[in-house]
């Protein structure tokens, strides 16, 4: 794993081993929706989730169906 320098200070100060234990399914993408990094467990359940893949080709973004004024 190679955490980017512009990551938040909490993430960048976390040792790699601890980060991977806490977030084994993490993924990082750029402004062009290309996956840059994936956690070690994500490809086990979603083999298409690899660096270089497009988010739109792998994941479906779905807005929750919450009615206005309803209690969550």
Q: What is the pLDDT of residues 21-41, one digit of tens each?
A: 899 999 999 999 999 999 999
- Tokens representing 27 are 């993924």
Phi and psi at residue 30, to the nearest 5° = -105, -175
- Tokens representing 50 are 């690899």
Residue holding tokens 């993924």?
27
Q: What is the pLDDT of residues 40-58, one digit of tens each?
A: 999 999 999 999 999 999 9
The reported pTM is: 0.67
């Amino acid at each position: 794993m190679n955490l980017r320098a512009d990551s938040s200070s909490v993430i960048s100060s976390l040792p790699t081993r601890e980060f991977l234990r806490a977030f084994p399914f993490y993924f990082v993408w750029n402004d062009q929706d290309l996956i840059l990094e994936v956690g070690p467990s994500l490809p086990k359940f979603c083999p298409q989730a690899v660096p270089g893949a497009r988010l739109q080709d792998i994941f479906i973004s779905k807005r929750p169906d919450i009615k206005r004024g309803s209690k969550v």
